[in-house]
Structure 1
Amino acid sequence: MSRILTFPLVLSLLLSALAVRADTIIVHPDVPIDHLSANELRSIFSMRSLRWVNGVPIRVFVLSDQSPVHKSFVKQKLEMFPYQLRMTWDRAVFSGTGYPPRKVSNIEDMVSRVRSTKGGIGYVNDESIPLLEGVKIVEIN
């Protein structure tokens, strides 16, 4: 394949990858935090942290494993591969020590469920920011 044909292909792949990044972490408005460390975020989505600092149970919402936004979130924010996260959830369920996160079908459902569930946490891509009324955005340090 010539360089002339390769460059547009690589450019389009890079642009499409950027378009689906999951850069925004959202929580229910009553969650008493404004920022999380990367380790705290990983602990929450690995289902190791079960309660917020005020004692309210953490309710994790995720998109399907095949979702480009989910893949981006797991790789960029949790610094792991989606299959590794899935194995962590499966191990907790199989051993009886935990529950899997709640799966939602799309970004709108993610925002709606986080907004209506006390202790809820989820993620969205940057294009979803106009939909975020009624949830709180959390910064990752």
Structure 2
Amino acid sequence: MLCGFAGLFAGPARGAPSGAYKVVVHPDNPVNELSRARLSQLFFKKSTQWDSGVTAMPVDLNDSSPVRAAFCDEVLKRSLPAVRAFWQQRIFSGRDVPPPELPSDADVLAYVRANPGAVGYVPASTPTPGLKVITLLD
């Protein structure tokens, strides 16, 4: 009984994936795991290269995707409206443009397959043949 009670307060294991999405990279990318903070840097373009020197090419699902909202909350640590506001400010000031937004999971997968530096996310239930699913670390 005590073990069951203690289990109620245990947090997710380190590197436990979100139930909503999985992060995928090109199969030639040597990365197997990535911290959420590092992934956030790539998606906010605060870092533009992988450790290997390859240009990072993040790609988003469109705004209407509930998976995008979960990704923003859990990885970017901002709500989807806050992420939109961040990019509007960057665009208006002429500093940068957001990652491309693609309309479907299939489009994200095709983009990642076609670009060695690409990184994207899709619903956890989506098959990802020909791509590498990376582990997210806290």
Q: TM-score, normalised to structure 1's length? A: 0.77
- Name the amino acid aligned to 1:23: Y
The corresponding residue for 1:84 is: 82
1:29 aligns to what SS in structure 2?
A: coil
Equivalent of 1:107 in 105, 108, 114: 105
Q: 1:133 aligned to 2:129?
A: yes
Distance 1:102 1:77, change over 3 A: same
Q: Identify if the C-alpha distance between structure 1 residues 91 and 79 changes in structure 2 by more than 3 Å, giving closer, same or farther.
A: same
Q: What is the CA-CA distance between 1:135 and the residue it aligns to?
A: 0.9
Offset, 1:65: 1.3
Count matched residues.
Answer: 120
Q: Which moved more, 1:48-57 or 1:95-104?
A: 95-104
Q: Which residue identity does 1:68 align to in structure 2?
A: P
Distance 1:87 1:139 in 2: 28
Q: Which runs of 4+ in 1 moved over 3 A?
A: none
Q: 1-side partners of 2:45 and 2:89: how far apart?
A: 11
Q: Deviations over 1:16-57 (max 9, x none)?
A: xxxxx5320001112221111111111111121111112111
Q: What does residue 123 of structure 1 align with?
A: 121
CA distance in 2, matches of 1:79, 1:33: 22
Q: Which has the higher helix share?
A: 1
Distance 1:40 1:58 in 2: 12
Partners of 2:44 and 2:84 lie apart in 1 by 9
Contact 2:37 2:75 in 1 (8 A): no
In structure 2, the partner of 1:94 is 92
Whole-Å separation in 2 of the counterparts to 1:55 and 1:91: 28
Q: Distance in 2 between matches of 1:140 and 1:25?
A: 8
User: Is residue 44–residue 98 contact of structure 2 (8 Å, CA) maintained in 1?
Assistant: no
Q: Where do 5+ consecutive residues of structure 1 fail to align?
A: 1-20
Q: Is the 8 A contact 1:32 1:53 kept in 2?
A: no
Partner of 1:66: 64
Shift of 1:88: 2.2
Alignment of 1:15-54 (within 5 A): 22-54=20-52
Tell me the SS of whatever aligns to 1:42: helix
C-alpha spacing 1:53/1:113, structure 2 compared with 1 (3 Å): same
